[in-house]
Amino acid sequence: MKKCAVMLFICGVTLGLLIVPGLGCAAYYESPTTTLFGMTESEIKAYITPDCALVLDRLQDILGDPPYELTKAGFDAIRDWVAANIEYKSDEEQWGVEEYWQTPEETLSLGTGDCEDFAILLCTLLRAYGIGEERIYVGVGIDNEGYGHAFLIENWYLDGEWRAIEPQVETQAFPPGRRFEEYNLADFKLLRDYEIIAGFNDSYYYDESFPWDEY
């Protein structure tokens, strides 16, 4: 798992909705509200594109023909596909810049991305699968050393209980009989020290005001 430097990820005021011609499905209505990321809420929400043809085609490759029944097995299959088929590559390596948010279409086409690209793609695929907009978000957290990282947060899998998910690793269940058997071992080890400061999907953007541990 790779981390993103918090100063680059949280304070990148030059960030915008950057799309390679021919790959992007994102569209947004301008909002005057500026977020922690130097973009408007509308710009950030536009990165989650569950209706795009390339996203839907990839979902069909993973799960077969729609319609889909929402199951934990389906959720895990999508998660595992992202972890197994997208390779970590920093923005410096891929784009020659300190920070660049890829659209899901770019990440699928390139087969590479950094932490927020993994999280944006996984959130998009799970939204396309049918997970509700109030139940799944790209989350941004800061650890006790001040480093920022993007991952997934959701409360569908355990029916109302929030989980943080590391999109860069496949499903790794706790051993049977353990108290946290339905949680993911890798998620617990990798994400337990992060404090969530923001979350978003195609419909919502929240910052510290959202009580993730109480919702």
pLDDT digits (tens, 9 = 90+) for 73-100: 999 999 999 999 999 999 999 999 999 9
Determine the 3-state secondary structure of 207 from DSSP.
Answer: coil
pLDDT at 8 over 60: no
Point out the least confidently predicted range of 54-58, 114-118, 126-130, 171-175: 171-175
Reported confidence tier of residue 15, pLDDT bands at 50, 70, 90: very low
CA–CA separation, 150 and 141 (whole Å): 6
* pTM as predicted: 0.84
CA angle (155, 161, 165) in 5-degree steps: 55
pLDDT at 103 over 80: yes
- 6-14+25-206 is classed in which CATH architecture? Roll (3.10)
Q: What is the DSSP string of 131-190?
A: --TTSEEEEEEE-TTS-EEEEEEESTTTTS--EEE-TTS---BPPTTSTTTTSBHHHHHH
pLDDT at 47 over 80: yes
pLDDT of residue 214: 53
pLDDT at 145 over 80: yes
pLDDT at 44 over 80: yes
Reported confidence tier of residue 195, pLDDT bands at 50, 70, 90: confident
* Domains of the chain by residue range: 6-14+25-206
**In sequence order, what are the residues at sequence separation of 6 or more whose Cβ sits closer than 8 angstroms to the Cβ of residue 135?**
154, 155, 156
Q: 141 — phi, psi (to 5°)?
A: -130, 165
The residue among 171 and 189 whose pLDDT is bigger is 171
pLDDT at 123 over 80: yes
